[in-house]
Amino acid sequence: MESFESLGLSEITLKVLKEKGYEEPTPIQQKTIPAILKGNKDIIGQAQTGTGKTAAFGLPVLERLPEKSKNVQALILTPTRELAIQVAEELNSLKGKKRLSIVPIYGRQSMELQLRSLKKGIDIVVGTPGRILDHLKRGTLKLDKISYLVLDEADEMLNMGFIDDVREIIESTGNEKRTLLFSATMPFEILQIAKNYMHEYDVLKVNNGQLTVSQTDQIYFEVFEADKFEALCRIIDIEKDFYGLVFCRTKIDVDTVANHLIERGYDADALHGDISQSLREKILAKFKKRQLNILVATDVAARGLDIHNLSHVINYSLPQDPESYVHRIGRTGRAGKGGNAITFITPEEYRKLQFIQRGAKTDIRREKLPKIEDIIRSKKLKIIDHINEIVNLNAQSCYLEMSKELMEHNKPEDLISALLQYSFPDELNEKRYVEIGDAVVDKKGKTRLFVTQGKLDGLTPRKLVNYIKEKSNITAEKIRDVQILDKYSFVTLPFREAEILLTSFKRRKKGSGLFITKAKKGRT
């Protein structure tokens, strides 16, 4: 397995990565970082969001750009403003002390603000096509001297009807640049862009190989990031015999989660790359003896563990790719019994979960988190079981005397209640649990629409997007999966926006002009 050190990154960058808690490069980073750092060819990277692709192009580009330039040095085009902001944030956190200014430029943000930062001088512009084109046309942004052009999520830009804008932007850049094109899929139009606008290029992709998933019951819960810890506690508490690994993305997350668990009284510990070999062995020995029943770990630290009989694997953060999902959950399942693989996703991560499901060729079922009253009930049963076990093992004689004495003055049920209260002062208190908000993932919340015009009527993705924007006042990033066929077209909108649009059509009569209705199932 490659390390960040072996990819040729500078000491400064390595320090930043250590501080961020990244332990090792993701597969796409292993391929693109050396290629961008050392080579000079253009690059097509086939990678999904969530596979670490921002750092895959960001780290080497940040290393190669000089400070104190007078021009914009790199442009990163993204399909949505959320992604533009996210990419700019990630790059700012990766640049360390290097004096490079990185700014997101997107629609619906004040022009004034953007003009001011453009005047001051920006090294890396991260922007959405529409607004970048506006600035180019106004002459407030010049791209003729950039040395890097990154097209991020190129297929999404195509889906959203931005491809003509993208072409126009590419044409405004100079010839002395490297183009790095990232796309999850490679439709014809994207390959055409590569053919028409890129120099000699390498295609770098991550091979998922053959993935097989064991007999594991796989479920996911939708939770907000802030509720994840509570959700984890509920899952552990409802189980009779929890014995599991909890996976986090970074060392920092591992430490935080493990410390919180310990503070709350669980037998947990942390395992990651900064833990010395001798301590690691001690922790593992305790885990195997079940003195610990929860290990919080990074993927790296869990590699090579010969523990396979876990009751649970919990993906506290989603794994980077299908391969590591399969690898993580392969650890559950006790002889003869299936294990449980539980994945937490935040509302934004639904698409990444689908990508993992597809890649791992598996089915991950959605469930609701256990309710507080269910957990309390399960805890009561556990206590009763435990007490019965002790009774069967013969009560300790040293307690019998006390017991007789207590019985003389009290009713048995009062006595036992008092003893339970004495033993579990806080365990059965509902207030131990915090309410968890319902994180509704935006998936069914979308409507596929049918449009009565197509290519033969002169409709283009851009025209359709503009038309919908005008009619429903919605932003372009919410308009997805535009599909223009000869005689008709399809487009997807979030449920609420689709309703607004459809209502405006209800009032009109279907005539020869463009008309939009809900798409019928099976028609798309």
Single-letter amino acid, residue 112: E
Nearer CB in complex with ligand AMP: 324/362: 324
Nearer CB in complex with ligand AMP: 17/233: 17
Nearer CB in complex with ligand AMP: 346/447: 346
Nearer CB in complex with ligand AMP: 93/172: 93
* Residue environment code for 449-460, b if the CB has 16+ CB neighbours within 10 A, otherwise e: bbbbbbeebebe
Nearer CB in complex with ligand AMP: 266/344: 344
Report residue 149 as tokens: 């052009």
Nearer CB in complex with ligand AMP: 251/312: 251
Please report how close the Cβ of residue 198 comes to ligand AMP at its closest, in angstroms. 22
**Dihedral sign, CA of 205, 209, 213, 214?**
negative
Binding site for ligand AMP (CB under 6 A): 22, 25-26, 29, 49-55, 90, 249-250
Rounded distance between C-alpha atoms, residue 249 and residue 317, angstroms: 6
Nearer CB in complex with ligand AMP: 25/104: 25
CB 232 within 8 A of CB 314: yes
Nearer CB in complex with ligand AMP: 55/369: 55
Please report how close the Cβ of residue 249 comes to ligand AMP at its closest, in angstroms. 5
Please report how close the Cβ of residue 80 comes to ligand AMP at its closest, in angstroms. 13
Please report how close the Cβ of residue 133 comes to ligand AMP at its closest, in angstroms. 25
Task: Kindly state the greatest CA–CA separation across the chain.
Answer: 96
- For residue 28, give the nearest of 246, 199, 187, 180 by alpha carbon: 180
- For residue 157, give the nearest of 127, 114, 136, 134 by alpha carbon: 127
Rounded distance between C-alpha atoms, residue 416 and residue 59, angstroms: 63
Nearer CB in complex with ligand AMP: 44/133: 44
The span from the first CA to the last CA of the chain, in angstroms, equals: 43
Rounded distance between C-alpha atoms, residue 193 and residue 186, angstroms: 11
Rounded distance between C-alpha atoms, residue 519 and residue 490, angstroms: 8
Nearer CB in complex with ligand AMP: 315/447: 315
Please report how close the Cβ of residue 317 comes to ligand AMP at its closest, in angstroms. 8
Rounded distance between C-alpha atoms, residue 62 and residue 58, angstroms: 6
Please report how close the Cβ of residue 233 comes to ligand AMP at its closest, in angstroms. 24
Rounded distance between C-alpha atoms, residue 265 and residue 272, angstroms: 21
Rounded distance between C-alpha atoms, residue 301 and residue 303, angstroms: 5
CB 45 within 8 A of CB 54: no
SS3 392: helix
Nearer CB in complex with ligand AMP: 76/369: 76
Please report how close the Cβ of residue 158 comes to ligand AMP at its closest, in angstroms. 19
**What phi and psi, each to the nearest 5 degrees, are found at residue 396?**
-65, 135
Residues present in the chain in total: 524
Please report how close the Cβ of residue 248 comes to ligand AMP at its closest, in angstroms. 10
Please report how close the Cβ of residue 84 comes to ligand AMP at its closest, in angstroms. 13
Rounded distance between C-alpha atoms, residue 220 and residue 127, angstroms: 33
Please report how close the Cβ of residue 86 comes to ligand AMP at its closest, in angstroms. 7
Report residue 167 as tokens: 């072409």
Residue 522 CA to its chain's centroid (Å) = 30
Nearer CB in complex with ligand AMP: 144/442: 442
Please report how close the Cβ of residue 352 comes to ligand AMP at its closest, in angstroms. 8
CB 346 within 8 A of CB 371: no
Please report how close the Cβ of residue 47 comes to ligand AMP at its closest, in angstroms. 7
- For residue 308, give the nearest of 323, 283, 328 by alpha carbon: 328
**Which residues fall within 8 angstroms of residue 65, CB to CB, at 6 or more apart?**
73, 74, 100, 123, 124, 147, 148
